[in-house]
């Protein structure tokens, strides 16, 4: 992880020291100034100690930089207990010489001041601790306690200044915490001499939910995010959001993954969604958004991929029961650890807390696909801008991990979808729209691909049917009066069937008619032929007779001439034998 981040933030200019804290390294473009002191200020209970502690612990465990924690407020045991609540084994780290904790108690009630003094005691103890473990990082939490314990402010200021330059000379990266003052960053004006980097933490309550905010006020010699970033303290420590929104440099995988509904894959260029893309499924009540999501999740689990399903309005049991009714049994996947179902109630926490929950789930479960069903339930938790920014950060988070995310969105009206209310549609790669199509006194479901970036996709509306074996997409019938669905479609189909049968019969009929005609004609041809033959015969007979008659005439003539003793006639006049 660290190597990856180092590459992301090349060290030009001043050297930086990675904190390992989610988000803070991104905002500060690579961490705190190395070998210098950073002031973390804010009111009581804003998370200064947690930030400081995490800086040390992560330094010790992730970057092999041991650290010294000088605690002015809490004893070693108290710190250990607090750290344990974040899953940090402080005594263990101390035993392995990764960390040293020294509780410096300054109790004004037992201290009397008499004459000139310095803070050599603190220096000596700090130096001893640094030497003992070879510390690279130091935390002083909080120096404000010194001011409440000791009266001579002039000495304190001079000594702190000396302390910071001493730490700098040792090349130690220090985090110094201080209480926020009235109209000033710190009550004691410490920011005046710890000036390399100042981080302000704040804690506010808006809409009855509390929000923690972090802002880098100043960072000498470095670019940094200047906004107020929400941050959270969870069981995994501190997370600053946005987690990686400063840069848009996600990889864009070209691998495609099935949607879980084969005919939907066909609609999406035949291959389904891109891996790592975000899909928005929007539609009104009962249009089958969750069912589509369940298919998607099931397909992922069948491929052996981990899937995270977050339901924001139904319990996990309800989700399983409902999906069983359309023939999707998610339970085996849950048992095999492939599917993690979790129910989030939007109202319980602030948006940021939810985002953190999701973030931590993703981090620990490491899913390949995830579903938030529906994402619109979070709208009530903040202004549109806030929800939009939450979704942005969520998409950012999952994209950077190449997780394919499906978000369902409830649109109240079936009119043309206007998702600008959450303002995220533009961030989605694929937008599937489910619609109720009302006609002929019935309601049917329709599905179409409103957009799908980077792939050819069908522009047709498909009829979407929920059966007890899952979703089926049926062919569209586009009749003269538009798209036909449901029973109208069936009527149309029956009508077509009848027409087809009729056509076939007519064809058959025409066929036999033709045959008959042919037979008739052939019969006529035959009779005509016999007539002809008859006529021919009689004509031939006539011809013969006439020939015979001619011969006889000739013969008669010969006989006559012979009888008349006439001259021999030319030709074949022969006398009788």
Partner 1 sequence: MIPQNRKSKTTTATGESNGEKYVLRLYVTGATSRSRRAILNINAICGEHLEGKYNLEIVDILQNPALAREAQIVAAPTLIKLLPLPLRRIIGDLSDTERVLAGLDLKSEPRV
Residues near partner 1, by CB under 8 A:
102, 104-106, 110-122, 124-125, 127-128, 146, 149-150
Nearer to partner 1 by C-beta: 129 or 338?
Answer: 129
CA-closest candidate to residue 343, choices 368, 322, 326 = 322
Nearer to partner 1 by C-beta: 104 or 381?
Answer: 104
Nearest approach, Cβ of residue 214 and partner 1 (Å):
30
E-strand ranges in 468-539 read: 470-474, 477-479, 482-484
**What is d(CA 69, CA 57) in angstroms, rounded to the nearest whole number?**
10
Angle between helices 351-365 and 384-400 (to 10 degrees): 10
**What is d(CA 1, CA 61) in angstroms, rounded to the nearest whole number?**
13
Nearer to partner 1 by C-beta: 149 or 423?
Answer: 149
Nearer to partner 1 by C-beta: 143 or 428?
Answer: 143
DSSP assignment of 294-329? HHHHHHHHHTT--EEEEESSS-HHHHHHHHHTTT--
CA-closest candidate to residue 102, choices 90, 112, 113, 118 = 90
CA-closest candidate to residue 227, choices 82, 483, 6, 23 = 23
Nearer to partner 1 by C-beta: 79 or 211?
Answer: 79
Nearer to partner 1 by C-beta: 68 or 437?
Answer: 68
Nearest approach, Cβ of residue 100 and partner 1 (Å):
10
Backbone angles phi, psi at 474, to 5 degrees: -105, 160
Nearest approach, Cβ of residue 124 and partner 1 (Å):
5
Nearest approach, Cβ of residue 167 and partner 1 (Å):
16
Angle between helices 48-62 and 76-84 (to 10 degrees): 80
- Three-class SS of residue 33? strand
Nearer to partner 1 by C-beta: 129 or 390?
Answer: 129
Nearest approach, Cβ of residue 43 and partner 1 (Å):
25
Nearest approach, Cβ of residue 387 and partner 1 (Å):
50
Nearest approach, Cβ of residue 69 and partner 1 (Å):
13
Nearer to partner 1 by C-beta: 40 or 119?
Answer: 119
CA-closest candidate to residue 350, choices 223, 241, 423, 503 = 241
Nearest approach, Cβ of residue 127 and partner 1 (Å):
7
Nearest approach, Cβ of residue 67 and partner 1 (Å):
17
Under a CB-based contact definition with an 8 Å cutoff, are residues 187 and 156 in contact?
Answer: no
Pairing of strands 462-467, 470-474: antiparallel
**What is d(CA 524, CA 500) in angstroms, rounded to the nearest whole number?**
36
Nearest approach, Cβ of residue 209 and partner 1 (Å):
40
Nearest approach, Cβ of residue 163 and partner 1 (Å):
12
**What is d(CA 24, CA 244) in angstroms, rounded to the nearest whole number?**
10
Neighbour-count burial of 336, counting CB atoms closer than 10 A to its CB (0-12 exposed, 13-18 middle, 19+ buried): exposed
Nearer to partner 1 by C-beta: 110 or 182?
Answer: 110
Q: How far is CA 185 from CA 175, 231, 288, 513, in A?
A: 15, 19, 53, 104
Nearer to partner 1 by C-beta: 74 or 421?
Answer: 74
Nearest approach, Cβ of residue 146 and partner 1 (Å):
8
Nearest approach, Cβ of residue 147 and partner 1 (Å):
12
Q: How far is CA 341 from CA 207, 297, 544, in A?
A: 29, 10, 112
Nearest approach, Cβ of residue 112 and partner 1 (Å):
4
Q: 242 preceded by cis ω (within 30°)?
A: yes
**What is d(CA 308, CA 314) in angstroms, rounded to the nearest whole number?**
15
Nearer to partner 1 by C-beta: 115 or 304?
Answer: 115
**What is d(CA 49, CA 47) in angstroms, rounded to the nearest whole number?**
6
Query: How many degrees, rounded to 5, is the angle at CA 69 between CA 63 and CA 72?
Result: 160
- Measured on CA atoms in the order 491, 495, 501, 505, is the torsion positive or negative? positive
Nearer to partner 1 by C-beta: 157 or 314?
Answer: 157
Residues with Cβ within 8 Å of 188's Cβ and at least 6 positions away in sequence, in order, are 143, 144, 147, 153, 156, 157, 178, 181
Under a CB-based contact definition with an 8 Å cutoff, are residues 364 and 302 in contact?
Answer: no
Nearer to partner 1 by C-beta: 124 or 566?
Answer: 124
What do you get for the CA distance between the two ends of the chain, in Å?
A: 140
Nearer to partner 1 by C-beta: 104 or 185?
Answer: 104
- Measured on CA atoms in the order 8, 10, 11, 13, is the torsion positive or negative? negative
């Amino acid at each position: 992880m660290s190597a990856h981040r180092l590459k992301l933030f090349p060290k030009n200019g001043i050297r930086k020291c990675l904190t390992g804290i989610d988000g803070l390294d991104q905002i500060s473009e690579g961490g705190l100034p190395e070998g210098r002191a950073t002031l973390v200020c804010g009111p009581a209970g804003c998370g200064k100690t947690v930030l400081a502690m995490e800086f040390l612990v992560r330094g010790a465990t992730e970057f092999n930089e041991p650290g010294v924690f000088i605690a002015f407020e809490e004893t070693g045991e108290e710190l250990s207990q607090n750290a344990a609540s974040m899953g940090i084994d402080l005594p263990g780290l101390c035993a392995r010489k990764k960390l040293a904790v020294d509780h410096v108690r300054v109790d004004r009630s037992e201290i009397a001041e008499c004459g000139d003094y310095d803070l050599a005691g603190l220096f000596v103890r700090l130096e001893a601790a640094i030497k003992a473990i070879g510390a690279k990082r130091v935390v002083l939490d909080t120096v404000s306690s010194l001011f409440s314990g000791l009266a001579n402010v002039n000495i304190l200021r001079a000594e702190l200044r000396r302390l910071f330059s001493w730490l700098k000379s040792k090349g130690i990266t220090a985090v110094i915490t201080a209480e926020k003052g009235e109209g000033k960053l710190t009550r004691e004006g410490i920011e005046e001499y710890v000036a390399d980097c100042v981080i302000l933490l704040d804690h506010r309550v808006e809409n009855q939910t509390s929000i923690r905010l972090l802002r880098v006020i100043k960072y000498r010699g470095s670019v940094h995010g200047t906004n107020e970033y929400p941050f959270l303290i969870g069981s995994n420590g501190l997370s600053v959001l946005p987690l990686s929104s400063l840069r848009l440099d996600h990889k864009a995988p070209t691998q495609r993954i099935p949607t879980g509904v084969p005919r939907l894959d066909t609609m999406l260029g035949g291959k389904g969604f891109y891996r790592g893309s975000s899909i928005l499924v929007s539609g009104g009540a009962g249009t089958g958004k969750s069912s589509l999501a369940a298919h998607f999740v099931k397909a992922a689990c069948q491929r052996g991929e981990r899937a995270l399903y977050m339901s924001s309005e139904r319990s996990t049991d309800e989700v399983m029961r409902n999906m069983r009714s359309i023939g999707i049994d998610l339970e085996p996947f849950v048992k095999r650890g492939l599917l993690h179902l979790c129910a989030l109630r939007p109202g319980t926490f602030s948006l940021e807390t939810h985002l953190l929950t999701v973030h931590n789930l993703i981090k620990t479960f490491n899913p390949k696909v995830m579903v938030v069903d529906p994402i619109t339930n979070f709208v009530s938790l903040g202004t549109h801008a806030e929800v939009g920014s939450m979704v942005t950060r969520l998409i950012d988070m999952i994209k950077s991990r190449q997780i394919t995310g499906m978000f369902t969105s409830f649109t109240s009206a079936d009119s043309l979808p206007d998702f600008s209310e959450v303002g995220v549609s533009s961030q989605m790669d694929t937008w599937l729209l489910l619609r109720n199509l009302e006609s002929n006194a019935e309601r049917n479901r329709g599905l179409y691909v409103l957009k799908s970036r980077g792939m050819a996709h069908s522009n047709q509306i498909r009829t979407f049917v929920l059966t007890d074996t899952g979703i089926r997409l049926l062919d569209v019938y586009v009749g003269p009066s538009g798209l036909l669905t449901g029973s109208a479609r069936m009527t149309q189909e029956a009508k077509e069937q009848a027409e087809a049968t009729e056509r076939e019969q007519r064809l058959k009929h025409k066929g036999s008619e033709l045959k008959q005609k042919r037979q008739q004609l052939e019969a006529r041809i035959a009779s005509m032929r016999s007539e002809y033959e008859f006529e021919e015969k009689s004509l031939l007979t006539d011809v013969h007779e006439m020939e015979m008659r001619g011969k006889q005439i000739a013969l008669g003539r010969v006989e006559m001439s012979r009888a008349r003793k006439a001259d021999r006639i030319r030709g074949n006049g022969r006398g009788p034998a």
